[in-house]
Chain A
Amino acid sequence: MTATHTSAPKVPAPNVKQFTVKVKRQDKPDSTPYWDEFVVPYQPNLNVIIVLQWIAANPITTAGKEVAPVAWEAACLEEVCGSCTVNINGRARQACSTLIDVLLAEGPVVELAPLTKFPVIRDLAVDRQRMFDSLIAIKAWVPIDGTHALGQGPKESPPNQETRYALSRCMTCGCCLEACPQYTLDNSFIGAAAISQARYFNMHGTGKTLSDHRLTVLEGPGGITDCGNSQNCVKVCPKEIPLTESIASIGRQTTVHAIGKFFTGK
């Protein structure tokens, strides 16, 4: 983060009374998707969640048909839980923090579709369990001796803390994976989020005791070598996590690790 702060320019309020929202729907994991269209009354300060809530209370399509409310995931509504990630006008982002004014400045229709890199559960809700499984695979934790009172943790310099803090804000939202050309529904690439978490734990005084395991996993199939270096991930991460730095760092760590293994034969 830089020492100054510049904010995004405010978009002017659009001059509309209502606008169209298209939602890509899918009733079941194995059923065929289809689109529903709704007309939603405009008011200032709308975001995509408010629109979905409005549709839930008024689930009538433009064709005048009453339909089931759209299914979607949400919890905190302040872009910190990661739940409500959907494709909004073709870009993966959080429904809560995506403002309608900004979308209407891009075009008259708001289009909502589920993430494509995860199996659809229903409508906009997808199954991101693979992301949590990846965290198990890389042992994304600090192996403490237990919860008994054993004194303080290691001291830490402010720069180290700042780097770790930036990495620790990953909310497992999946935007980086959605944007990644290498990550697909049916391959085994672990993706940027987990690679960055490996770096996070390898930076901690006690966490690094598991770095051998993490690097071995990331040297293997679906690991760091599957990264095609498109750098899309870092551009879409809503938490501005320095993902390409993390990938580079883990790249270096695996190289050193592999050389070490070669010489020690371990």
Chain B
Amino acid sequence: MANSKPRVIVVGGGLAGLSATVKIAESGVPVDLFSMVPVKRSHSVCAQGGINASNEVARQQGYSEWMHVDETLYGGDFLQHQPPVYDMCHEAPKIIALLDRMGVPFNRTPEGNHDLRMFGGSLFKRTHFAGATTGQQLLYALDEQTRRHEAEGKVKKYEFWEFLWPVLDDSGVCKGIVAQDMRSMEIRAFRADAVIMATGGCGMVYGKSTMSVICTGGAAARCFQAGAWLGNPEMIQVHPTAIPGEDKCRLMSESARGEGGRVWVPRKKNDPRGPGEIPENERWYFLEEKYPKYGNLVPRDIATRELFFICQQGYGVGGGRMVYLDVSQLPMETKRKLAGILEIYEKFIGENPYEVAMRIFPAVHYSMGGMYTTYTGKPDGKGMVPGAPNNMSTNIPGLYAFGEVNYQYHGANRLGANALLNCIFDGLFNGPSVVNYVRDVVKAPADHTPSGAFDAIVSQEEGRMRRLLESKGTVNPYKLHARLGDEMTDACTVVREEGRLKQALENVRNMREEFKGVRLTDTGMWTNQNLSFARAVGDMLLYGEAIVLGALERRESRGAHYRIDYQDRNDEKFLKTTVAKFNPVTNSVRLEYEEVPLPLLQPRSRTYGAVETKAEKTAEAPATVAGKA
């Protein structure tokens, strides 16, 4: 019997959640949309640089959708499943056309076509952009379409509601969620025939990152505890160019380099002169020198390591952990395209990047890993079966993961401007899979699920809340979070090593113990942000443990995961997905490994045409080496 009145819950109103909402509402299935912030304020607004898609100009210069696939897999160090990447890259041009129809103000050429910019990991211009606030423009376009469906009664928004836990029926099928009104603090169950998690990344596990403060990974960690698996949690992207700050690290988008910005350090260590006073021949453009082909646009994992090592060798600006990112030499016309990000630098640092080189350093930026999902592939590996009900389903039937929280698409390293694409692709391409699931697969509609399943989770969450409110402990949740962040940043970012990871694992586990002594300073029942944050700290600690354990057990180097004690990629042992599972009995994380199928492309070595040998990498570079003019 088909489900006559199906309903879908979407948790998260970033690009992934909103594109799913629009697609599903359009097909006639009503959507309940949950978000901790008004969806228009979701983290996706932060995205600056652009969105990748093959296009006519690039095509006539020899680029193709297939090359986009190839770049994405090469960029990701071959860890990702290939069929979903195949579809994502082939759908990309259609996605751009749709966004165009929705009114996104993409930058234009004189003739009125889309202007394009260079981005990392590609030798072709294939990145579409709207100034340097592309994510904001894309999110707004989808927000507007969502509002239209809301006005027509097809979408009901629950903004300022926090997802707490998925509800599963007796047979382990997802039938809804339990959420909390962040103002009245009411905890309630909501029924649905399918739930899509589109809750974004987990940067806050690192204390601070380039992400928004709501990107805790808390929602994913809750699903994890409820039985959903994580895929490759250890794969965390550290972006090479950010402005470190006490509250957050603000990104200087790759578009700065895409438009011609250059990364350099003074050739002389501890050079006391300001950047403007250092003549051209005394600047060391170390990326351009080592990677003549890709220059400043090598993929992020590589650029980040180079920056990190340069500073470690003492070449950082003033001997510290900073290098220059310079757009001052670019024509004003070009700088105007970057106004959105240059304005950020100026506002927060108080210096004028139009004239003076910016000082930047790597920062945690993106989670390639996330909730584990599956799909039905076509026999020839060229994509997924469109509309297959299990596309991007987690291991829990009825529970899906879209967007950054989904571990698919980017493997061990994400290419710039592929994330916005993957979010929208998930919503538009895999939204119909959810519709097919609720219409054709669901045999017992959520309305018929006995209320006991929902009541149990409501009381579980009320209990969790009460324990926090009534705790007599002494641990301050903000300070515990800061310590978690410091530990994660120190042990598990650019360079990772066995001993330090083991120590971090122990420390994070100890902090999970300490969490039991967390005490809130606000014990009220109205807009208690203290409670929401403290609860998320508990979830972040668990997520952190999964990241560290994944990093410890992956004894190889691949993409963003760089082990100083295992510097080579080891395909034989580790061309595998890390699948993390939670054991509720021991309250701990367990890892399993799953072979990555290679239907389309075999792994090749990942050099990006570097002209130096590996052995020289950590050696002291001569300070007099001639610069590339």
**A164 CA / B26 CA spacing, docked (Å):** 27
Which residues of A lie under 8 Å from residue B183 when comparing CB positions? Answer: 121-122
Kindly list chain A residues whose C-beta atoms are within 8 Å of the C-beta of B97. 149-153
- B136 near A49 with CB under 8 A, answer no
Give the shortest distance, in Å, between A203 (CB) and chain B (any CB).
9
Is B43 interfacial (CB 8 A cutoff)? Answer: yes
Mark the stretch among A67-75, A215-223, A226-234, A250-258 that contacts chain B: A67-75
Interface contact A81-B212, CB-CB below 8 Å: yes
**Given the known A-B contacts A71-B527, A140-B147, A158-B109, are A152 and B100 also in contact in the complex, defined by CB atoms under 8 Å?**
yes
28 contacts between A and B (CB under 8 A): A3-B336, A7-B352, A49-B247, A50-B247, A56-B530, A68-B522, A76-B45, A76-B46, A80-B45, A80-B46, A81-B37, A81-B45, A81-B46, A82-B40, A122-B183, A139-B151, A141-B103, A142-B141, A147-B428, A149-B97, A150-B97, A150-B98, A153-B102, A153-B103, A158-B108, A161-B105, A171-B41, A206-B103
Q: Which 7 A-B pairs have the closest CB atoms?
A: A153-B100, A155-B112, A68-B522, A57-B478, A7-B352, A141-B144, A142-B103
- Verify if B214 is at the interface (C-beta below 8 Å from A): yes
Q: Are A68 and B524 in contact (CB under 8 A)?
A: yes
Find chain A residues with CB under 8 A from B41 CB.
Answer: 75-76, 81-83, 171-172
Within 8 Å by CB of A155, from B113, B137, B141, lies: B113
B213 on the interface (CB 8 Å rule)?
yes
Q: Mark B131-161, 1 if CB is under 8 A from A, else 0.
A: 1010011001100110110110000000000
Residues of B whose CB lies within 8 Å of any CB of A are 22-23, 26, 37-38, 40-43, 45-46, 94, 97-98, 100-103, 105-113, 130-131, 133, 136-137, 140-141, 144-145, 147-148, 150-151, 183, 212-214, 245-248, 250-251, 332, 335-336, 339-340, 342, 344, 346-352, 354, 428, 476, 478-479, 482, 521-522, 524, 526-527, 529-530
A181 close to chain B: CB less than 8 A: no
Verify if A266 is at the interface (C-beta below 8 Å from B): no
A66 x B521 contact (CB < 8 A): yes
By a CB distance below 8 angstroms, the chain A residues around B38 are 128, 132, 172
A interface vs B, CB < 8 Å? 1, 3-8, 10-11, 27-28, 43, 45-47, 49-50, 53, 56-57, 59, 66-69, 71-83, 96-97, 99, 101, 121-122, 125, 128, 132, 135-136, 139-144, 146-147, 149-153, 155-158, 161, 164-165, 168-169, 171-172, 201, 204, 206-207
Closest Cβ of chain A to B326, distance in Å, is 15
Given A7-B346, A77-B213, A155-B112, A168-B105 contact (CB < 8 Å): yes
Tell me the bound Cα distance from A168 to B140 in angstroms: 8
Query: Do B102 and A144 touch (CB < 8 A)?
Result: yes
Q: How far is the CA of A201 from the CA of B141 in the complex (A)?
A: 11
Contact between A7 and B354, CB atoms less than 8 A apart:
yes
> A142 and B144 in contact (CB under 8 A), knowing A77-B248, A79-B347?
yes
In the complex, A98→B106 CA distance in Å?
A: 29
Q: Give chain A residues whose Cβ lies under 8 Å from the Cβ of B529.
A: 69, 71-72
Q: Are B346 and A150 in contact (CB under 8 A)?
A: no
Distance in angstroms from B93 CB to nearest chain A CB is: 9
- Given A68-B524, A147-B26, 16 more A-B residue pairs with CB atoms under 8 Å apart are A57-B479, A76-B41, A79-B347, A80-B45, A82-B41, A96-B247, A122-B183, A128-B38, A132-B40, A140-B144, A152-B97, A155-B108, A165-B130, A168-B137, A169-B340, A171-B45
Q: How far is the CA of A135 from the CA of B351 in the complex (A)?
A: 36
A56–B151 alpha-carbon span in the complex (Å)? 38
In Å, the complex CA distance between A150 and B469 comes to 54
Task: Look across to chain A and name the residue whose beta carbon is closest to the beta carbon of B144.
Answer: A141
**Bound Cα distance A43, B245 (Å):** 12
Please give, as numbers and ranges, the residues of chain A lying within 8 Å of B150 by CB-CB distance.
136
CB distance from B288 to the nearest CB of A (A): 26
Residues of B within 8 A of A101 (CB): 350
In the docked arrangement, what's the CA distance between A161 and B337, Å?
12
Is the Cβ of B133 less than 8 Å from the Cβ of A80? yes
CA distance A132 to B137 in the complex (A): 17
Contact A75 B212 (CB under 8 A): yes
Contact of A5 among B130, B213, B354, B479 (CB under 8 A): B354
Q: A83 near B37 (CB under 8 angstroms)? A: yes
Residues of B within 8 A of A204 (CB): 103
Q: How far is the CA of A75 from the CA of B38 in the complex (A)?
A: 10
- Tell me the bound Cα distance from A139 to B144 in angstroms: 9
Identify which of B108, B136, B526 contacts A28 (C-beta below 8 A).
Answer: B526
Measured in the bound complex, the distance between the Cα atoms of B245 and A222 in whole Å is 43
The one of B37, B144, B151, B352 in contact with A75, judged by C-beta atoms closer than 8 angstroms, is B37
Across the two chains, which residue of chain A brings its CB closest to B248?
A77
Kindly identify which residue among A1, A149, A157 contacts B94, using a CB–CB cutoff of 8 Å.
Answer: A149
Q: Are B136 and A121 in contact (CB under 8 A)?
A: no
Is the CB–CB distance between B101 and A150 below 8 Å?
Answer: yes
| Nearest CB of chain B from residue A71's CB, rounded to whole Å | 5
